[in-house]
A and B are shown apart, each in its own frame.
Chain A
Amino acid sequence: MTARGIDRRTFLVSVGAAGGALALGFDVRPGAQAARAAGDAPEITAWIVIHPDDTVIIRVARSEMGQGTLTALPMLVAEELECDWSKVRAEFPRPDENLRRNRVWGDFSTGGSRSIRNSQEPLRRAGATAREMLIAAAAMQWGVAASECRAANSIITHVPSGRTITFGQVAEAAAKMPLPKRVTLKDAKDWRLIGKPTRRLDVTDKVMGKPIYGIDVRVPGMLHAALAQCPVFKGTLKSVDDSQITGMSGVHKVVRLKDAVAVVADNWWQAKKALDALVIDWNTGDSGQVSSDSVRQFLLGGLTADKAGVGRAHGNLSEGFASAVTRVNADYFVPFLAHATLEPQNCTAHVTGDRAEIWAPTQNGEAALATAAHVLGIPPQNVIMHKTMLGGGFGRRGVTQDFVPPAVLIAKEVGRPVKVVWSREEDTGHDYYRPVAMARMSAGLDATGMPSAWHVRMTGNSIWSTLMPMTVRGGVDRQFQEGFLADMPYDIPNYLADYAIRNTHVPVGFWRCVNHTQNCFFKESFVDEMAHAAGIDPLEYRRRMIGKHHNAAKFLGVLNTAAERAGWTTPLPPQIHRGIALNEAYNTFVAAVAEVSVDTHGAVRMHRIVVALDPGTVVNPLTAEMQTESAVVFGLTAALYGEITIKDGRVEQSNFNDYRMLRMAEMPRVETVLMPSGGFFGGCGEPPVAVVAPALCNAIFAATGKRIRSLPLKNHDLRKA
């Protein structure tokens, strides 16, 4: 999830239904020399506040949506700060403060499993900087050399004399010290906190129902709004007959937007009841004819199109096929998927004149702020933005801030603070969906059974070309092909991976693990097909194919570990079968072995899955393990049930009754093996999602002999023929 060719001063923001991207420039200079905050907070640096009672407040710029940033990022700071971890509390700085302070906290966007990868060095530096300032203040007070002092556990000791002073006692003086010109970071071998399983800082609040999510925001004088958006994407509002709601209790106003209608009332239930009583007519335009079948036909054209962007090519494909003794061909398909964050989309706004204040559960607070400013036509510095806790994110609340425009427009018209909450049905029907995709696989195997040629032709909805067209040049969207490019570990002498972009009217976006969620299923299922065509064990086949890749040792490391831990060569009970998959995503290497049964009714059950990960460095093994369990559920839910279908231009699914989620009874045993090999930082939130579907489907093949080439599994009859 990187935007190319965009400088640091510019935020890319996709503003909801308007479609397309906005590049909003703020005239700010990034840099460390930001103005210090006014007020009495004993702020050592922008990242760290230390109170006289030794409480340490560490600011976290990235959003907390369950992945544990609110704990892991402070750990990085605390490692160098040398503070007492039991005294640490975390807080979110406001995006508008970031803007006002020359982006002192850097980038707020939270996605692509980047929170640790991109912040680890600045955060460790922030900790080291504050530690040096605290030591300098203590040394000055004692009249000794700073080099004679050490900090540990929130206490500074003058080593020769044994004198001590706490961080809290020197915090105020430290805040006035100059920033050190240079700080040295610890070697990884000296880390005491990083790498140690550490309980989440937010756990107690979360078991007491205390955290404030966006949907929980309460502002004095606030009204509540329910929203109906045009059910056909890109359609507009034609007319609203509100005669039926006259006199309904608590209703304040009907607000008409370009492509939506809202009812504003004293509470959300009243608003929703009145909204449901409106008679609304929409202009659906040409898109009203689109169906899942028409999308499929459109994509089939992409499989055979002459023109396709080349993501990776080497060797000579026709020579490779000519030398093959066996051909393996298969077409694969995956549907659109919704994010289904359990907290529906929502935003609270208060607009007065040319100023606005907004509250939202967003993965990118700066983008939310910029979106509000753009929609209202006011300067960004006139917007105050409060970022709340997120009830799930999964990519839904990142690049797309489509929950902001209706909120600010409704609030502007009402003149009072308004909280706009989408119903679950509205949320399911107006997502930025995981793209639909197809792959046509053609491979030639030589006399040894190994591939001499492989052509991967992909087609489907490109996220970047719809959200930010300027990032896709020459028809090449490398993210759509991720997993099949330089990140593919397999040695194929003659190889072509190309992609014919086929954009539908359905909005698409980043869904946890993005295009790996389709491509790893395509890639690892097809590798299994090749292995079976060659008559070679799928694990052994992969080992042979991982040849000279520059990350071969890491791929083999996770592959062999997952296989060993799962007991790949040991017999299983008769009904249970194994499947394996391997992938790299966001700098993390992942392999999984799933144990699966298919009963006589065709019901699939995953009993156990072993997931081995090498993310280079693990900051908090506890949350990394939790994220792996979470990723398995996310991937398994999609593989079993996930499917958004289109009829008459609109989404057919509405709620959890027809967009099914995995529940307790279907949960497999997840065994996570963290095996950081050191020297790099990979992401942890997303990578394991991708390996779940292929490991599952390869096990289903082992169980039934049926090769699954499309998802979800609910559409397949797996009963024995």
Chain B
Amino acid sequence: MARLTVNGHLHDVDVDPDTPLLWVLRDTLGMSGTKYGCGIAHCGACTVHVDGVATRSCVLPVSAVDGKAVTTIEGLAPNGVLHRVQKAWIDHDVPQCGYCQSGMIMAVAALLRAIPNPTDAEIDAAITNICRCGTYQRVRAAIHAAANV
């Protein structure tokens, strides 16, 4: 058994404590916005916030988030009001296939909380998510736009 709080809701789930948070979100709680890409914390498709910090959930045992607040892409726009990063993403036409974008957006939302107006170098250092469609140019433009909202 494990206990976790996702997007403000408390869940008790019947899984092994070593189960990565990603698979609890996807398979147990049925929240598919957070994606599996590599399983080794390289691609960032599984990025969620744990107590506000961008975290790759594919290698994080669910037992590690007991008592902490997990936010997923489904929780980024409470009551359907889009987060400024999501709005900037639409304005700059970022997504292509879209598969990496949940993780990319979560990583950027956390970055802007930590560094409100990041330089290009800070963006390069913080945003290491893989986008196989290569949306990076638009991601960068959208980050700068979201920072200046």
**Cα(A342)–Cα(B99), bound, Å:** 7
Q: Which of A208, A343, A632, A655 contacts B134 (CB 8 A)?
A: A632
Chain A residue nearest in CB terms to B85: A207
Chain B residues 76-95 with CB under 8 Å of chain A are 76-77, 82, 86, 89-90, 93-95
User: Which residues of chain B are near A68, meaning CB under 8 Å?
Assistant: 96
Check: B10 CB closer than 8 A to any chain A CB: no
Which one of A6-14, A115-123, A184-192, A388-396 contacts B? A388-396
**Cα(A208)–Cα(B85), bound, Å:** 11
Check: B33 CB closer than 8 A to any chain A CB: yes
Provide 15 A-B residue pairs closer than 8 Å at the C-beta atoms, listed in order of the A residue. A199-B93, A203-B94, A209-B34, A210-B33, A213-B35, A215-B35, A342-B97, A342-B99, A394-B132, A622-B93, A626-B138, A629-B134, A656-B37, A656-B130, A663-B128
User: Which residues of chain A are near B94, meaning CB under 8 Å?
Assistant: 203, 207
User: Which residues of chain B are near A203, meaning CB under 8 Å?
Assistant: 89-90, 93-95
Known contacts A215-B36, A424-B38; A267 and B27 CB within 8 A of each other: yes
Number of A-B contacts (CB under 8 A): 178
- Is there contact, CB below 8 Å, between B99 and A343? yes
- Is there contact, CB below 8 Å, between B33 and A208? yes
User: Which residues of chain B are near A216, meaning CB under 8 Å?
Assistant: 26, 32
User: Which residues of chain B are near A663, meaning CB under 8 Å?
Assistant: 128-130, 136
Check: A661 CB closer than 8 A to any chain B CB: yes
Chain A residues 663-694 with CB under 8 Å of chain B are 663-665, 667, 669-670
**Cα(A421)–Cα(B125), bound, Å:** 31
- Is there contact, CB below 8 Å, between A342 and B100? yes
**A198-223 interface code vs B (CB 8 A; 1 in, 0 out):** 01101111111111110110100000
User: Which residues of chain A are near B42, meaning CB under 8 Å?
Assistant: 655-657
User: Which residues of chain B are near A351, meaning CB under 8 Å?
Assistant: none
Chain B residues 116-149 with CB under 8 Å of chain A are 123-125, 127-140
Known contacts A268-B23, A656-B43, A664-B140; A208 and B86 CB within 8 A of each other: yes
- New A-B contacts (18) at CB < 8 Å, excluding given A65-B97, A66-B98, A202-B98: A67-B96, A203-B93, A203-B95, A205-B98, A208-B74, A215-B35, A249-B16, A267-B27, A267-B28, A268-B36, A270-B19, A626-B135, A630-B96, A630-B134, A630-B135, A655-B38, A657-B40, A663-B128
Known contacts A269-B23, A665-B125; A206 and B98 CB within 8 A of each other: yes
Chain B residues 6-41 with CB under 8 Å of chain A are 15-16, 19-20, 23, 26-28, 30, 32-40
Check: A340 CB closer than 8 A to any chain B CB: yes
- Is there contact, CB below 8 Å, between B124 and A664? yes
- Is there contact, CB below 8 Å, between A391 and B23? no
Q: How large is the interface on A (under 10, 10 to 19, 20 to 34, 35 or more residues)?
A: 35 or more
Check: A321 CB closer than 8 A to any chain B CB: no
Check: A42 CB closer than 8 A to any chain B CB: no
Chain A residues 374-427 with CB under 8 Å of chain B are 389-394, 421, 423-424
Check: B55 CB closer than 8 A to any chain A CB: no
Nearest chain A CB to B34's CB is how many angstroms away? 7
Chain A residue nearest in CB terms to B130: A661
- Is there contact, CB below 8 Å, between A207 and B101? yes
- Is there contact, CB below 8 Å, between B98 and A211? yes
Check: A480 CB closer than 8 A to any chain B CB: no
Chain A residues 339-356 with CB under 8 Å of chain B are 340-344
**Cα(A423)–Cα(B36), bound, Å:** 9
Check: A662 CB closer than 8 A to any chain B CB: yes
Nearest chain A CB to B124's CB is how many angstroms away? 4
Chain B residues 31-72 with CB under 8 Å of chain A are 32-40, 42-43, 45, 72
- Is there contact, CB below 8 Å, between B95 and A206? yes
Most buried by A among B28, B39, B123: B39
Nearest chain B CB to A259's CB is how many angstroms away? 23
**Cα(A204)–Cα(B98), bound, Å:** 10
Chain B residue nearest in CB terms to A654: B40
Chain B residue nearest in CB terms to A424: B38
User: Which residues of chain B are near A270, meaning CB under 8 Å?
Assistant: 16, 19
Known contacts A340-B132, A391-B35, A655-B40; A204 and B28 CB within 8 A of each other: no
Check: A634 CB closer than 8 A to any chain B CB: yes
- Is there contact, CB below 8 Å, between A342 and B90? no
